[in-house]
Amino acid sequence: CKILRCNSEYVAATLPLRGPGRGAAFCTALRSYSRCTRRTARTCRGDLAFHSAVHGIEDLMIQNNCSREGPTAPPRPRPPAPDRQGFESLDVCDYERSFLYKHGRPPAFQHCAAFGDPHIRTFHHDFHTCRVEGSWPLLDNDYLFVQATSSPVAEGSNATVTSKLTIIFKNMKECIDQKVYQAELDNVPAAFQDGSVNGGARPGGSSLAIRERAPGRHVEIRAAYIGTTIAVRQAGRQLSFSIRAAEEVARAFTEEQDLQLCVGGCPRSQRLGRGRVAADAARALCREMLPVEDVYFQSCVFDVVTSGDANFTMAARGALEDARLFLPDAEKLHIFQ
């Protein structure tokens, strides 16, 4: 995919253009940029940077009243020793800055979480309590695959918790090698399975990195190249997962990738309702951690009553803290139902 060359040629052509008189030259540069992307369309179909460029060109042509037909500029000669850490790296491996550069506004983000028995907060602010046992995909798109494995809280119990999380960051040519992260109960490592702590030796390897927030209990994985941050926690005898993902990344999947708990929630056959489980002791424990009686509080009460384990209060509190960090709209923090 030659999209990097198109990007650098466009930047080189437009950098000298400033002020109100730039119109005709700017439109010429945009038409050249568009022609360059069309030439790469076949090889770049699955490339995020390519699709961002195509949409960005369309927006800029409309904003500047540029006609599609007209003169185009010949490509500028490339410098003999291009700076690999210049705009090319910025464009591909720093999603937020690249998006802002192309669209003139920051990207939109979505939040999903899975915690407790397990409860799913979807990207669309739906909230389900599931009785899923075994392995289920939380995410399955062009950039990420996340699988949660659930096990019974205790032998004979209907309550299940997440006991294992597998996260695959799929190969992205200029930025990272494929990386796999795996957490299990009492093993929440601050490294990928191959022992590395970043995306590898490629130019944008540092755009994927793991940071330990609490030893053995809480890690944060930042994937700047796709505008995504993931938190993995262990509270008591269960794991939880939270993600803040760029909207464009969260939506990058096909009809075949139809089972994603973060997108559609639990299948109807796997959803649990909450009956009258307002045990006073459980409510008192949960109120210490969660003063607002929203779905996080209700989930906490449900989990403590079902499992008898007070550690579930920490799971709900951790999920709420992640939501407070990851949600761009603070008014959507609490869900009431």
> Residues 107-155: pLDDT tens digits?
999 999 999 888 999 999 998 888 777 889 999 999 999 999 988 876 6
Q: What is the phi/psi pair of residue 149, to 5°?
A: -110, 125
* pLDDT of the residue at 83: 43
| Residue 45 phi, psi dihedral angles, 5° rounding | -55, -35
Beta carbons within 8 Å of 266's beta carbon, 6+ residues apart: 120, 128, 129, 130, 132
pLDDT at 20 (0 to 100): 60
Task: Give which of 275, 274, 27, 100 is closest to 10, Cα–Cα.
Answer: 27
Mean pLDDT of the chain: 84
Cα separation, 310 vs 295, in Å, equals 17
Structure tokens at 240: 């939880």
Is 255's pLDDT higher than 90?
Answer: no
Type of residue at 106:
P
Cα separation, 121 vs 295, whole angstroms: 10
> Taking Cα atoms as reference points, which of 274, 305, 312, 269 lies closest to residue 132?
269
Instruction: Decide: 60 and 103 in contact? Cβ < 8 Å.
Output: no
Residue 143: name the closest of 169, 181, 180 by CA. 169
Distance, CA of 112 to CA of 101 (rounded, Å): 27
Mean pLDDT of 323-334: 87
Read off the tokens for 179: 């990386």
Top mean-pLDDT range of 132-141, 176-185, 264-273: 176-185
Distance of alpha carbon 94 from alpha carbon 75, whole angstroms: 25
| Total residues found in the chain within this entry | 337
Q: Is the pLDDT of residue 299 over 80?
A: yes
**CB 228 within 8 Å of CB 241:** no
- Cα angle, residue 246 at apex, residues 4 and 90 outer, rounded to 5°: 30
Cross-strand bridge partners of residue 147: 137, 166
pTM of the complete model:
0.63
Q: For residue 241, give both structure tokens.
A: 């997962």
- The answer, yes or no, to whether residue 174 has pLDDT greater than 90, is no
Cα–Cα distance for residue pair 203/131, rounded to 1 Å = 43
Amino acid at 252: A
